[in-house]
Structure 1
Amino acid sequence: MNDKPMMISKRRRLKLLAALALSVASAPLLASVAWAADPLKVAMILPGPINDNDWNAGGYAGLQAAAKNLGIEVAYSENVADADAERVMRDYASRGYGLIFAHSFSYGDATLAVAEDFPDVDFMAGTAQNLADNVGTYDNPDYQGAYLTGMLSAGASKSGIIGWVGGNPAPNMLANYHAWTAGAKEVNPDVTVMISWLGSWFDPPKAKEAAIAQVEQGADVLSAQSVGVIDAAVEKKVLVIGAVSDQNHLGPEAVLTSVLWDLGPLVTEAAKSVIEDRWESKTWSYGIKEGSIRLADFHGLDANISPEVLKATEAKFEAIKAGDFVVPHDTSMVE
């Protein structure tokens, strides 16, 4: 049982005032003032640059989609180090931003600290494990798409060795790796899957180096879960799976397809729910079924995969969309 007193935010108090005012025919002006007094502003802080064609670009695109869909004011801060996350979020909260997205797993503790001091502000902490009354989280169910690209990767590999490169062993990264491996093994039970952790969310030179090392050990299809992997694939002339956006333009002869993550619907709905006073502290998940996760065009590179594997992958996509197949959400640790 929760013994904490019920807190009513400034926004909620104004909405109650507006509702009361609307019920009084003699006070229409008071109602309009109350409703307009606290328009929602949304901010997002990101660990890397918004032009990375990856995680940060996806977050930024989702924020801009919400601004367009709802006509609200938004702001963002890119390249925010973990040590600066609390300071940046406090600044946004103190300036009246009513919904703040902390777009990194590593911002979790900072988000909880700021949220405690700003109970009237709602926070969305990316792939967080610990929540609070005013802290929700959103996952990146790209692991659903990773299962599909695992199938494609095993189907395209001639060596029977594929490689995955990621930043840190956060739950969403682990889920992606395990799903990619499971999909690959459905097509080729004997496939070898290599894995490399960088220890950083954004270190393109290190990611490229790790990917090249995997290729030199026999991997001929890679999964680019870090910026820099595609550069390695282009240089070594192997195939690679892109992430978040269609990354084929970064390597037209290398990027087989990409797992697309459209964050726009989720950011829009979260902001709308705050405006309508129905926001909840929970895990928000928008995947294949909701249209937020899908695969990019092959740009002709599907010639590297047999028709049987392509057909099986398409059937699996439809099964996931219909709810007939649930991709395992495995976040167990991998060294």
Structure 2
Amino acid sequence: MISIFKTLREGVQLLAVVMLIAFGGSQAVHAAGLKIAMVMPGPISDNDWNSVGYNGLQAAAKALGAEVAYSENVSDADAERVLRDYASRGYKLIFAHSFSYGDATLNVAEDFPDTTFMAGTAKELAPNVGSYSNPDYQGAYLAGMLGAGASKSKTIGWVGGMPAPNMLANFHAYEAGAKAMVPSVKVLHSFIGSWFDPPKAKEAAIAQVEQGADVLSAQGVGVIDAANARNVFALGAMTDQNHLGPKTVLTSVLWDLGPLITAVGKAVEDKTWTSQNWSFGIPEGAVRLADFHGLDAGVSSDVLTAVKAKFDAIKSGAFTVPLDTSNAD
């Protein structure tokens, strides 16, 4: 009798798993699998850096059948406590999704040698600490080409948060792409000194418009608000941000973190993970330009053709976008 009930119970459990998978459930098969956590500096609703982290985490949960958890709006001062809490609760793969969490990650990793940590654009690694970078600078080169080609004033702008390596790479690539398209173009830039300060980002962007910029690279929340207010083009970042400015967001540089988190998780499960920098960009299908939503009608076909050709060259390996993380003038 016991064996009959056991068989029935297992059958019901299996059916539940199959139904959850069939209807898109992300919690279907995680109970006995890998546990992955992510700690983020801002809200998952920002349509930017934190949204990308959250979406990538959810994609990996489905691909790996992993249990996932996350914490948003975690300050630098609180990062070590949150990371330590996840490690103590058995999460074996933890993503510290901020450049500024590097020290906290190293401190916690030392006490949990059997846990794998991935720190966003970390300066230092450890035996159980790897890094992952956002190679959206590859897309930024294309955005610079597009921005310079679409600009009527031949002055374009770029507004970012902190001068971290990934932000510097993004700016330099944007400028390089712009000058490759229009050598005489003027590229303005501002670092607002914060990863999330929409009013300050908007203010910096408006200041650039007042200096003649008619295309803005939105590397922070608030820039698109400025574009909407001043009726200039914006180039979104991380996610398709056209819904934030249907008449102004020409396109966006997309970053899909799902493939990278999935690959790292698989390596942890297979015990093949090594401490290194992981980077998935255009060649891996993780970085691309979003749909133009009809706004490309206002851009020269020659510009669009040149941008598409450069994207294809980057994807095939025929062209490599320079990685420049030097300080911006």
TM-score using structure 1 length: 0.88
- 1:90-109 to structure 2, matched below 5 A, reads 90-109=84-103
**1:203 correspondence with 2:197:** yes
Aligned pair partner of 2:80 in 72, 83, 86: 86
State the shift of 1:133 in Å.
Answer: 0.4
User: CA offsets, 1:191-235, max 9 Å, x none?
Assistant: 111111111100011101110111111110000000010011001
Distance in 2, Cα, partners of 1:244 & 1:38: 32
User: CA offsets, 1:26-57, max 9 Å, x none?
Assistant: xxxxxxxxxx9974210000000000000000
Corresponding position of 2:42 = 48
Q: Where does the alignment leave 5 or more consecutive residues of structure 1 unmatched?
A: 1-35
Distance in 1, Cα, partners of 2:181 & 2:37: 43
Corresponding position of 2:14 = none
Q: Which one is further off, 104-113 or 299-308?
A: 299-308
Q: Where does the alignment leave 5 or more consecutive residues of structure 2 unmatched?
A: 1-29
Distance in 2, Cα, partners of 1:246 & 1:90: 33
2:91 is paired with a residue of what secondary structure? coil
Distance in 2, Cα, partners of 1:97 & 1:67: 13
1:222 is paired with a residue of what secondary structure? strand
Corresponding position of 2:176 = 182
Distance in 2, Cα, partners of 1:144 & 1:108: 24
Instruction: For 2:89, give the aligned amino acid.
Output: R
**1:326 correspondence with 2:307:** no
- 1:151-230 to structure 2, matched below 5 A, reads 151-230=145-224
How many equivalent pairs are there?
Answer: 300
Query: Conserved in 1, the CA contact under 8 Å of 2:120 and 2:131?
Result: yes
Corresponding position of 1:115 = 109
1:43 is paired with a residue of what secondary structure? strand
Instruction: For 2:259, give the aligned amino acid.
Output: P
What is the root-mean-square deviation in Å for CA atoms of aligned residues?
1.1
Distance in 2, Cα, partners of 1:74 & 1:234: 37
Distance in 1, Cα, partners of 2:128 & 2:100: 18
Segments of 4+ in structure 1 off by > 3 A?
36-39
2:152 is paired with a residue of what secondary structure? coil
2:199 is paired with a residue of what secondary structure? helix
User: CA offsets, 1:261-281, max 9 Å, x none?
Assistant: 000000011111111111111
Aligned pair partner of 2:250 in 243, 252, 256: 256
Distance in 2, Cα, partners of 1:232 & 1:120: 47
1:193 is paired with a residue of what secondary structure? strand
Instruction: Report percent identity of matched pairs.
Output: 72
Query: Conserved in 1, the CA contact under 8 Å of 2:31 and 2:67?
Result: no
Distance in 1, Cα, partners of 2:139 & 2:190: 20
Corresponding position of 1:275 = 269
- 1:30-69 to structure 2, matched below 5 A, reads 39-69=33-63
Distance in 1, Cα, partners of 2:61 & 2:112: 23
Query: Conserved in 1, the CA contact under 8 Å of 2:33 and 2:65?
Result: no
Query: Conserved in 1, the CA contact under 8 Å of 2:95 and 2:117?
Result: yes
Distance in 1, Cα, partners of 2:90 & 2:130: 19
Distance in 2, Cα, partners of 1:275 & 1:38: 12
Aligned pair partner of 2:120 in 119, 126, 130: 126
Aligned pair partner of 1:316 in 282, 286, 310: 310
Distance in 1, Cα, partners of 2:303 & 2:209: 23
Instruction: For 1:106, give the aligned amino acid.
Output: S
